[in-house]
């Protein structure tokens, strides 16, 4: 059975590097999704995540062990906002993490897929920051509503409604009928 966040935080506080490494592996992708939702640039998101984990390790004693995910996501989000303000994010940014598998045999299908991915990227970028975070954590990372709520300090119902709004906005931007699921 996998160790709980509480157990890992307590062990990491005692100097167990493997415990902190386990926390990093557990929350790396979600942290990257939160950073991407704010900064939009994969390289910047990676910098934010690395900096955020270093900050988390330095301040681990201030964390409530049962609230590690929320505490970490707050650190990541704040770091991303700071970087975003410094850089004044560029208008056109690649979303390499959204690239799908390409078939090597059909260039026309590859071009069509790339166009669809570009439109999806643009639609997601138009979302308000909180909607992007919820959408990416749920649809890209597979987090449950309660997990997102805990990590972003939101009520579960608010997460559901925010996800609904985000999906509706993306569908509208893509010209997809609202009764269809993404």
Angle of helix 145-152 versus helix 68-87 axis, rounded to 10: 60
What confidence tier does 1 reach under pLDDT thresholds 50, 70, 90?
confident
pLDDT tens digit sequence for 15-27:
999 999 999 999 9
Q: Residue 176 contacts by C-beta under 8 Å, 6 or more apart in sequence?
A: 182
Please determine, for residue 104, whether its predicted confidence score (pLDDT) is greater than 60.
no
- pLDDT given at position 105: 62
Residue 137 half-sphere exposure, CB side, CA atoms within 13 Å?
32
Q: Which residue has the higher pLDDT, 104 or 80?
A: 80
pLDDT tens digit sequence for 61-72:
999 999 999 999
Phi-psi region of 106 (alpha: psi -120 to 50; beta: other; left: phi over 0): beta
List domains and CATH numbers for the chain: 1-88 (1.10.1740.10), 106-182 (1.10.10.10)
Q: Are 177 and 171 in contact (CB under 8 A)?
A: yes
What confidence tier does 89 reach under pLDDT thresholds 50, 70, 90?
very low
The candidate with the shortest Cα–Cα distance to 31, out of 58, 5, 57, 51, is 51
The candidate with the shortest Cα–Cα distance to 12, out of 84, 59, 60, is 60
Average pLDDT value for the chain: 84
Q: Residue 147 contacts by C-beta under 8 Å, 6 or more apart in sequence?
A: 69, 137
| Rounded mean pLDDT, 127-133 | 89
Q: Are 134 and 148 in contact (CB under 8 A)?
A: yes
Please determine, for residue 174, whether its predicted confidence score (pLDDT) is greater than 70.
yes
- pLDDT given at position 180: 45
Q: Are 13 and 54 in contact (CB under 8 A)?
A: no
| Rounded mean pLDDT, 146-152 | 87
């Amino acid at each position: 059975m996998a160790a709980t966040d509480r157990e890992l935080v307590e062990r990491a506080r005692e100097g167990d590097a493997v415990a902190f490494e386990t926390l990093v592996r557990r929350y790396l992708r979600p942290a990257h999704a939160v950073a991407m939702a704010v900064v939009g640039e994969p390289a910047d998101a990676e910098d934010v995540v690395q900096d955020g984990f270093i900050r988390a390790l330095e301040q681990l004693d201030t964390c409530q062990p049962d609230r590690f995910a929320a505490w970490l996501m707050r650190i990541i989000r704040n770091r991303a906002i700071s970087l975003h303000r410094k850089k004044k994010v560029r208008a056109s940014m690649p979303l390499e993490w959204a690239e799908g598998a390409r078939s090597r045999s059909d260039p026309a299908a590859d071009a069509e897929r790339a166009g669809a991915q570009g439109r999806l990227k643009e639609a997601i970028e138009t979302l308000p920051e909180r909607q992007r975070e919820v959408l990416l954590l749920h649809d890209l990372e597979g987090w449950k509503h309660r997990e997102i709520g805990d990590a972003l300090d939101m009520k579960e119902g608010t997460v559901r409604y925010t996800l609904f709004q985000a999906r509706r906005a993306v569908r509208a931007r893509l010209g997809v009928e609202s009764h269809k699921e993404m």
